[in-house]
Structure 1
Amino acid sequence: MDQETAYDGPQIVGMDLHRSRSVLLRMTPEGTRLGRVRIDNSPAGLKAEIAKAGPHPRVVLEATYGWYWAADALIETGAEVHLAHPLGVKLFSHRRVKTDERDAADLADLLRMGRLPEAWIAPPQVRRLRELVRYRHKLVGMRTSAKDQIHAVPGKAGLHVPVSDLFGRAGGPGRPPSRCTAPTPPAPPRCSGWSPSSMPRSATSPASRAPPSCVPGPG
């Protein structure tokens, strides 16, 4: 059940942000709780609720899924927004009792005591550039994975590829197609240092011609 307490001084608001709903908890700089409310996520709903905290409240939320829209909406209301670093508040996950209200209260307590591990709130134009870089990094990873799978196909079949990279300069477009060949079986052993020309002429007559000792006989 939502709770409200009248107060006209400066307020600190802890926000536990989730995908569809969030919890806001207001308190005084001394730590006295003034109110708690659960809202459906929307910029308009958040602005209407934060207006109860008076002018220029100090608001803290964690840098978690979907924090962009919440931070932008809070900044538009004139609030002093602080972004908690997820690694700095990871200790919350080890509590025996973990609720949305406790999370919001802990964020507000860290902010009012000056112990909040903060992350930088990048402006919208920087965020857009970051998203482009992240998306390109993701696409490059997908391309590398696809190439690795294609390179593995002839390897699984025991075929030899005459180039080190099918997608490089040697295997790219505009080059004559190269055939994958199976490994060449080893040649049978030969007698080193022997040839018909090295035999004496008398040994080449049919009567004296005998097979070399190194050639195996039948059986």
Structure 2
Amino acid sequence: MGIDLHRRRTVLVRMGADGQRLGSMDRFPSTPEALRAAMTAAGPEPRVVLEATYGWYWAVETLQELGAEVHLAHPLGIKGFSYRRVKNDERDAADLADLLRMGRLPEAHIAPAPTRALRELVRYRAKLSRWRASAKSSVHAVLAKRGVAVGMSDLFCVEGTALLDQLSLEPAYAARVSSLRDLIAMLGTEITGFDFVIAQVLAGHPGYRAIQRISGIGPVFASIFVAEIGDPARFATADKLTSGAGLTPRHRESDATVHRGRITKMECGGRRRRPVRPTVSRLGRLSCRWWAGSTFIDRS
């Protein structure tokens, strides 16, 4: 069965092992209740494929509750759909089912529900941090416009805060700086709160503690690695883990010509926002036993 999931409507196509369509396609609202109703004629343990598009969590969870064998198609792997002369939801769903039937489906990993929940926390915490950094940069921009020299490396330390308190700016610029400082303080409070929640979720996690034994990895980076990598046992080697993190260079080879480009960036950016390639490579060389709860062993 192939499913083309959209925000408002979903299309479902049934296909037999011989590639023949079974009945007509179903179009229904994109809700768990409608999906359950559409799956009533699927039989026991159907094989279902859908693309990893916007909002796929609820669909995968609903299908798994119904006992389906769910496969998640990687969007980049089926990019060729866009080059067809005729492209519509029914054709997309049928092509997904056909790729699954032939064993040629480019699959994406379906992380367990607890890992997806942890990612929500970690990724939102990272977003809050980016918003705070943007607000701080805006304060620097306002001071630069008014020719205010900043003599300290951190404008938001005690000395920098004293400087901001003593500033005498025109009303428009003063109002913006005041608003930005309020936002920075509010975002700082939110970040601290999420740090506490994430620490509570990962309390007792052996991998979370073990990763912090690597130089340069603290609680924030450790939580990112645990959330984004999930179960490291799904990577057979350190090279596969590095590739999964999107840190491998692009490779183009034809005849005697070879071109190597920039890193592929094909995974979540949370693992690439810092110079972490050596860390990811070393992490892959660690024994996976510490992640499962055994003794930490560094085999680098």
State the TM-score, normalized to the length of structure 2: 0.53
Does 2:154 match 1:168?
no
C-alpha displacement at 1:135, in angstroms? 0.6
Aligned to 1:14: 2
C-alpha displacement at 1:180, in angstroms? 6.3
Aligned to 1:41: 30
Map 1:1-219 → 2, pairs under 5 A = 13-35=1-23, 36-172=25-161
Cα distance in 1 for partners of 2:124, 2:164 equals 33
Residues 144-178 of structure 1: CA deviation (Å, up to 9, x unaligned): 10000001112111221222321135424xx6878
Cα distance in 2 for partners of 1:178, 1:41 equals 52
C-alpha displacement at 1:127, in angstroms? 0.6
Cα distance in 1 for partners of 2:75, 2:152 equals 46
Unaligned runs of 5+ in 1: 1-12, 182-219
Name the SS of the counterpart of 2:76 in structure 1. coil
Cα distance in 2 for partners of 1:178, 1:125 equals 45
Contact 1:162 1:178 in 2 (8 A): no
Name the SS of the counterpart of 1:32 in structure 2. coil
C-alpha displacement at 1:45, in angstroms? 1.6
Cα distance in 1 for partners of 2:37, 2:79 equals 30
Cα distance in 2 for partners of 1:178, 1:75 equals 56
Identify the structure with the greater helix proportion.
Answer: 2
Contact 1:160 1:180 in 2 (8 A): no
Residues 170-191 of structure 1: CA deviation (Å, up to 9, x unaligned): 424xx6878569xxxxxxxxxx
Cα distance in 2 for partners of 1:91, 1:143 equals 39
1:20 partner amino acid: R
Task: Give the direction of change, closer, same or farther, for the CA distance of 1:50–1:178 in structure 2 (3 Å limit).
Answer: closer
Name the SS of the counterpart of 1:163 in structure 2. coil
Unaligned runs of 5+ in 2: 169-300
Cα distance in 2 for partners of 1:95, 1:119 equals 23
Question: Among the aligned pairs, what percent are the same residue?
Answer: 62
Contact 1:14 1:61 in 2 (8 A): yes
Aligned to 2:261: none
Cα distance in 2 for partners of 1:90, 1:176 equals 53
C-alpha displacement at 1:125, in angstroms? 1.0
Q: Whose Rg is larger?
A: 1
Question: Paired residues, what number?
Answer: 167
Task: Give the direction of change, closer, same or farther, for the CA distance of 1:72–1:178 in structure 2 (3 Å limit).
Answer: closer
Name the SS of the counterpart of 2:143 in structure 1. helix
C-alpha displacement at 1:108, in angstroms? 0.4
Name the SS of the counterpart of 2:14 in structure 1. strand
Cα distance in 2 for partners of 1:23, 1:98 equals 13
Task: Give the direction of change, closer, same or farther, for the CA distance of 1:99–1:19 in structure 2 (3 Å limit).
Answer: same
Cα distance in 2 for partners of 1:138, 1:56 equals 39
